[in-house]
């Protein structure tokens, strides 16, 4: 058995002052640095959108962030422009230690479909290299932290367990968007029902 730490989207745009700031998102950074010390295999993900990405409300007339549309046959929430490729907002948080990161996974690169999960786009039409890379490292157990609990963290965890990994979410090292009250609680419940183990950093 070999473990990997997967740090989801610890980027400027999801932290304080960012274009899509997750409430209290910055609080995850020092904890992520601390947790890294317990792992040899560390992966970090990045939202990496082209400016023309159709999940951006700005790319639709008469639409605003929070509206929903059908995109590539899938319900899509429209977001503020965020994590545009090569922008400062797409950079990792400046206080995040990235010296021990073995692999960076870029997602959300196709303009016509969003990618919450680090493994697949939202339609499961295209796969990132993450699963292949973890298997090549003989990883069986995946520990997940990051932003946001109710979107990219949740869908990453759900895909990981479907792919056969043992999955653990480090709940105190995640924060959620909470577009609707209770979204994070529902996300954690959904993950637990999928046999994803909810742990805290002190349990590592």
107 is catalytic: yes
**Of 9, 81, 150, 159, which one is the catalytic site residue?**
9
**Of 15, 41, 83, 152, which one is the catalytic site residue?**
152
9 is catalytic: yes
**Of 107, 150, 154, 174, which one is the catalytic site residue?**
107
154 is catalytic: no
Q: How would DSSP label each residue in the chain?
A: --EEEEEE--BGGGSTTSTTPPTTGGGHHHHHHHHHTT-S-EEEEEE-B-TT-TTBGGGSTT--TT-EEEETTEEEE-B-S-SBTTSGGGSBPTTS--TT--EEEEE--STTS---SSSB-TTS-SB-SHHHHHHHTT--EEEEEEE-IIIIIHHHHHHHHHTT-EEEEEEEEEE---SSTTHHHHHHHHHHHTTPEEE-GGG-
Task: Provide the annotated active-site residues.
Answer: 9, 107, 152
């Amino acid at each position: 058995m070999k473990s990997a730490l997967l740090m989801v989207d610890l980027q400027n745009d999801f932290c304080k002052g960012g274009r899509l700031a997750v409430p209290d998102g910055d609080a995850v950074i020092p904890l992520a640095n601390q947790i890294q010390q317990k792992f040899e295999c560390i992966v970090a993900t990045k939202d990496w959108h082209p400016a023309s990405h159709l999940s951006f409300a700005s790319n639709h007339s008469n639409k605003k962030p929070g509206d929903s549309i059908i995109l590539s046959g899938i319900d899509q929430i429209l977001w503020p422009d965020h994590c545009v490729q090569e922008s400062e907002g797409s950079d990792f948080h400046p206080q995040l230690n990235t010296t021990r990161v073995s692999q960076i996974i870029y997602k959300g690169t196709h303009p016509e479909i969003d990618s919450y999960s680090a493994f697949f786009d939202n339609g499961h039409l295209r796969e990132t290299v993450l699963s292949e890379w973890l298997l090549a490292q003989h990883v069986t157990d995946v520990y997940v932290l990051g932003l946001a609990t109710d979107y990219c963290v949740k869908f990453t965890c759900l895909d990981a367990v479907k792919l056969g990994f043992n999955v653990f979410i480090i709940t105190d090292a995640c924060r959620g968007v909470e577009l609707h009250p209770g979204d994070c609680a529902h996300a954690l419940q959904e993950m637990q029902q999928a046999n994803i183990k909810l742990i805290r950093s002190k349990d590592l």
